Amino acid sequence: MGAGPLTEECVAAGLAAPELRSAAPVRFFRSRLLEGLTRAHPACPYVLFAPVIGWALWAAAMAIGPRWGALGALFAGGWLSWTLLEYWMHRAIFHLSGETDARKVARFVLHTHHHRTPMDRERLAATPFQGGSLALLLAAIDGLVIGGGWQAALAGQIFGYLVYEAAHYAAHHSARPWFGARLRRHHLRHHARSGGNFGISIALWDVVFGTRLRGP
Ligand SMILES: [Zn+2]
Ligand SMILES: [Zn+2]
């Protein structure tokens, strides 16, 4: 994206390089209807998915009974698996390698637009179509792999997804991010430089896979 390095002082002061303040929307389609489907209000994921977490925990308790230890372990395992999925999707899919036209377009529509206009609030969160498709895919995999009580793992994954959305929003739009300045710096370094800091709600997998960016 051609942004210069972001100084620690700049981030600490809640400021950012001019490229990181751009909120001018990028237009994907001429059609207003199609264009509208590519945008989502930042509150959208919480409104859509918080009730799903409640339903999933209830369904898991109905399936395996009030075994709180097992339900908690499934929830925690689901949350941890989400953080790995978040890292992998950002690294391998959103920053898809290759310079063919098809890959460039896919990369732009999925993610590069966010690097161009990171302050566009309506292109931060996943759209209902994207979030819903991913949730259905995860539900199918959990049901096949885990068996009884799989809904608790799904609840953990969706909870992790909502934490990710909140951390990303806070990194860009909160002068005093409730997720902490360190996590914010971690993500803003990803914007200012390239090739690392793919985790957003947690830096763990960048440490594990050696993609953590340090310094200014
Ligand atoms: Zn990125
Ligand atoms: Zn971002």
Number of Cβ within 10 Å of residue 87's Cβ equals: 23
Rounded Cα distance, 32 and 59, in Å: 39
Between these two residues, 167 and 11, which has the higher pLDDT value? 167
| Ligand 2 geometric centre to CA of 124 (Å) | 7
Find the ligand nearest to 199 CA: 1
Higher-pLDDT residue of 174 and 6 is 174
Sign of CA dihedral 56, 60, 65, 68: negative
pLDDT tens-digit series, residues 49-98: 999 999 999 999 999 998 999 999 999 999 999 999 999 999 999 999 98
Q: Do residues 5 and 188 touch, judged by C-beta distance below 8 A?
A: no
Per-residue confidence (pLDDT) for residue 141, from 0 to 100 = 97
Q: Write out the DSSP string of 35-95.
A: HHHT---TTHHHHHHHHHHHHHHHHHHHHH-S-HHHHHHHHHHHHHHHHHHHHHIIIIIIT
**Centre of ligand 1 from the C-alpha of residue 28, in Å:** 18
Domain ranges of the chain: 51-208
What confidence score (pLDDT) does residue 23 get?
Answer: 54
Q: What is the pLDDT of residue 154?
A: 98
Could you tell me the distance, in angstroms and rounded to a whole number, from the CA of residue 114 to the centre of ligand 2?
Answer: 7
The pLDDT assigned to 24 comes to 65
Whether pLDDT at 45 is above 80: yes
Burial of 76 (0-12, 13-18, 19+ CB in 10 A): middle
Distance from residue 174's CA to the centre of ligand 2 (Å): 12
- DSSP conformation class of 109: I
Which ligand sits nearest to residue 187's alpha carbon? 2
Report how far ligand 1's centroid is from the alpha carbon of 58 (Å).
35
Predicted pLDDT at 38? 87
For residues 78 and 153, the answer to whether their CB atoms sit within 8 Å is: yes
In this prediction the pTM is 0.86
How many angstroms separate the alpha carbon of residue 107 from the centre of ligand 1? 10
94 Cα–ligand 1 center, Å: 7
